[in-house]
Structure 1
Amino acid sequence: MIRVLAGSVLVIVTILLVPSVEKALFFLPLIFALSVSLVNTDKFKLNKVLGIIISVVQSYLVFLGLGIVLYFFDEWIQNITNGGSSEVEGVALITLGGYLAALLLFYFYSYLFKEINSKFSFRVISVCNIAVIIVMLVFSKNEYLQFGVEKFPAYLISWCIFMSLAYSLSLNKELFNKKIKSK
């Protein structure tokens, strides 16, 4: 069970050690990729070092692609609504973007790691994405459903924490099942 939680704990500790949020956001794809790949090096289909490097590259590509897609999608929403988008649209955009990023990374990881159960992983990723949204709604200080620009770094950090947990659960399903059955 420690192996399942190790990735999320690694993300939390690393974020706490980084002195500023701006630096943390730049290194977030690296932190995320390392939190998943370092804990699960025995699950790689490839050489361990090559697997870690590919995991980091995939993570940066997905984060960059997500940023670009969300930027253009946000512009498209602004044009459709004549510049007056509501906060619900912003929440939907961020939620959908985070979910799509998680699924895209899972797709790439299915080629990189062995022994991934797609059905179980899809459920775990979905539950962890819902957990991210719940955390953001609970800890939102101003209005209900307000993410806003100042909340985006907190969203990304919580996304990395919960998604590293999701991927660790997906990669270590047998350990998780043993622990559940033993109780």
Structure 2
Amino acid sequence: MSQSAPPPPQPQSPSQPQPADGNPFAQQQASAPYAAQPGAVPPPPAPPAPPRGNVALGLVGAVVAAVAAAALYGMVIGLTKHEIGWAAVGVGFVIGLAAGRLGGGRKPLLPIAATLLALGSVYLGQLVGEAMIGADQLDLGFSEVFFQHFGVVQDAWKETADPLTFLFFAIAGWAAFSGAQKAAA
């Protein structure tokens, strides 16, 4: 009976080193200790990021933020019976943030549109506040005062408007413009 000798060792190339224990998968496991196991389900793909540089999306977001901020600002005025400067800053900043984040990129239209929307939002918020105060004083519902007597609400706003009122417009406009520029960066 002839005994066969073990095969001669193969020379190892430097690009493919062989493990010492003869396990061809040991090196693969060592380099990727958390590699997917056979039969494992891969994680779901991440949701797509909102598109950057979409001016229309930025404008829609700014309009939605303006309406919401006007309602909230009006409620603050109606409940406290005072205009509050930091609330005007918040109105402008939220509108600018929405325009800049959703619109993305450095589009010159977005800060200007955010500024104009902030001015309108502060005005609408002040009218809502006047209507809330008037409804409370007259013991009527807010919607009745705001929608059926809108001219009276505007006249009341004109009578109570002072230089501080217009300062709040300027503050909100500045916050919207700078917020849109910073959010887009």
Give TM-score scaled by structure 1 length. 0.32
Report which structure shows greater RCO (CA 8 Å, sep ≥6).
Answer: 1
More helix per residue: 1
TM-score after normalising by structure 2: 0.31
